[in-house]
Protein backbone atom coordinates (compact mmCIF):
# COMPACT_ATOMS: atom_id res chain seq x y z
CA UNK A 1 0.00 0.00 0.00
CA UNK A 2 2.78 2.44 0.88
CA UNK A 3 4.53 1.78 -2.42
CA UNK A 4 1.46 2.91 -4.38
CA UNK A 5 1.31 6.22 -2.56
CA UNK A 6 5.09 6.72 -2.80
CA UNK A 7 4.88 6.29 -6.59
CA UNK A 8 1.92 8.67 -6.80
CA UNK A 9 3.76 11.22 -4.67
CA UNK A 10 6.75 10.94 -7.00
CA UNK A 11 4.47 11.45 -10.01
CA UNK A 12 3.03 14.59 -8.44
CA UNK A 13 6.47 15.99 -7.61
CA UNK A 14 7.78 15.28 -11.13
CA UNK A 15 4.72 16.89 -12.74
CA UNK A 16 4.96 19.98 -10.54
CA UNK A 17 8.68 20.30 -11.25
CA UNK A 18 8.05 19.96 -14.99
CA UNK A 19 5.31 22.58 -14.90
CA UNK A 20 7.46 25.06 -12.99
CA UNK A 21 10.35 24.48 -15.38
CA UNK A 22 7.94 24.92 -18.29
CA UNK A 23 7.28 28.42 -17.00
CA UNK A 24 11.05 28.98 -16.76
CA UNK A 25 11.49 28.10 -20.46
CA UNK A 26 9.85 31.42 -21.36
CA UNK A 27 13.05 33.17 -20.37
CA UNK A 28 15.53 30.35 -20.89
CA UNK A 29 14.85 27.54 -23.41
CA UNK A 30 17.67 25.47 -21.89
CA UNK A 31 15.07 24.17 -19.40
CA UNK A 32 13.19 22.30 -22.16
CA UNK A 33 15.05 18.95 -21.85
CA UNK A 34 14.39 18.92 -18.09
CA UNK A 35 10.71 19.66 -18.72
CA UNK A 36 10.49 16.65 -21.06
CA UNK A 37 12.32 14.41 -18.56
CA UNK A 38 10.10 15.55 -15.68
CA UNK A 39 6.88 14.92 -17.58
CA UNK A 40 8.14 11.53 -18.82
CA UNK A 41 8.98 10.58 -15.24
CA UNK A 42 5.60 11.84 -14.00
CA UNK A 43 3.66 9.75 -16.52
CA UNK A 44 5.87 6.70 -15.93
CA UNK A 45 5.27 6.86 -12.18
CA UNK A 46 1.56 7.49 -12.78
CA UNK A 47 1.40 4.37 -14.94
CA UNK A 48 3.23 2.30 -12.33
CA UNK A 49 0.79 3.51 -9.70
CA UNK A 50 -2.12 2.32 -11.83
CA UNK A 51 -0.44 -1.05 -12.38
CA UNK A 52 -0.40 -1.56 -8.62
CA UNK A 53 -4.17 -1.41 -8.58
CA UNK A 54 -5.26 2.00 -7.34
CA UNK A 55 -8.45 3.12 -9.11
CA UNK A 56 -7.79 5.52 -12.00
CA UNK A 57 -10.23 8.11 -10.64
CA UNK A 58 -8.42 8.26 -7.33
CA UNK A 59 -4.98 8.32 -8.95
CA UNK A 60 -5.79 10.98 -11.52
CA UNK A 61 -7.87 13.07 -9.14
CA UNK A 62 -5.16 13.08 -6.50
CA UNK A 63 -2.42 13.78 -9.05
CA UNK A 64 -4.33 16.62 -10.66
CA UNK A 65 -5.61 18.24 -7.46
CA UNK A 66 -2.34 18.25 -5.60
CA UNK A 67 -0.51 19.25 -8.78
CA UNK A 68 -2.76 22.28 -9.21
CA UNK A 69 -2.42 23.28 -5.57
CA UNK A 70 1.36 22.91 -5.47
CA UNK A 71 1.89 24.72 -8.77
CA UNK A 72 -0.31 27.58 -7.58
CA UNK A 73 1.51 27.93 -4.25
CA UNK A 74 4.98 27.50 -5.74
CA UNK A 75 4.09 29.89 -8.56
CA UNK A 76 3.46 32.51 -5.89
CA UNK A 77 6.76 31.74 -4.16
CA UNK A 78 9.01 31.28 -7.20
CA UNK A 79 7.45 33.57 -9.81
CA UNK A 80 5.53 36.08 -7.71
CA UNK A 81 2.16 34.99 -9.11
CA UNK A 82 -0.94 36.12 -7.25
CA UNK A 83 -4.04 34.15 -6.34
CA UNK A 84 -7.40 35.60 -5.51
CA UNK A 85 -9.33 34.45 -2.48
CA UNK A 86 -11.75 32.74 -4.86
CA UNK A 87 -8.91 30.80 -6.50
CA UNK A 88 -7.58 29.71 -3.10
CA UNK A 89 -11.04 28.56 -2.03
CA UNK A 90 -11.44 26.68 -5.32
CA UNK A 91 -8.13 24.87 -4.84
CA UNK A 92 -9.12 23.95 -1.27
CA UNK A 93 -12.45 22.57 -2.52
CA UNK A 94 -10.66 20.44 -5.13
CA UNK A 95 -8.37 18.98 -2.46
CA UNK A 96 -11.30 18.30 -0.11
CA UNK A 97 -13.09 16.56 -2.97
CA UNK A 98 -10.12 14.30 -3.66
CA UNK A 99 -9.81 13.45 0.03
CA UNK A 100 -13.52 12.55 0.12
CA UNK A 101 -13.13 10.34 -2.95
CA UNK A 102 -10.07 8.64 -1.47
CA UNK A 103 -11.63 7.99 1.91
CA UNK A 104 -14.75 6.52 0.34
CA UNK A 105 -12.97 4.25 -2.16
CA UNK A 106 -11.94 0.78 -1.10
CA UNK A 107 -8.55 -0.33 -2.36
CA UNK A 108 -9.15 -3.68 -4.03
CA UNK A 109 -7.42 -5.58 -6.82
CA UNK A 110 -8.64 -5.14 -10.38
CA UNK A 111 -10.61 -7.99 -11.88
CA UNK A 112 -7.90 -9.35 -14.16
CA UNK A 113 -7.72 -12.82 -12.71
CA UNK A 114 -4.59 -11.86 -10.80
CA UNK A 115 -4.34 -10.48 -7.32
CA UNK A 116 -2.35 -7.28 -7.16
CA UNK A 117 0.12 -7.09 -4.28
CA UNK A 118 2.20 -4.16 -3.20
pTM: 0.79
Question: Would you call 112 helix, strand, or coil by DSSP?
Answer: coil
Residues 15/38, Cβ–Cβ less than 8 Å: yes
Q: Say what the alpha-carbon torsion angle 61, 4, 71, 23 is, to the nearest 10 degrees.
A: -110
Give residue 22's pLDDT. Answer: 94
pLDDT digits (tens, 9 = 90+) for 35-74: 999 999 999 999 999 999 888 888 888 898 899 999 999 9
Give residue 101's pLDDT. Answer: 78
Give residue 57's pLDDT. Answer: 84
Residues 3/50, Cβ–Cβ less than 8 Å: no
Amino acid sequence: MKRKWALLTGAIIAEVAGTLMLRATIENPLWIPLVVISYALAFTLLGLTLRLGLPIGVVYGTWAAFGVALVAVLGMVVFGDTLSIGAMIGIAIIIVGVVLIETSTKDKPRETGEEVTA
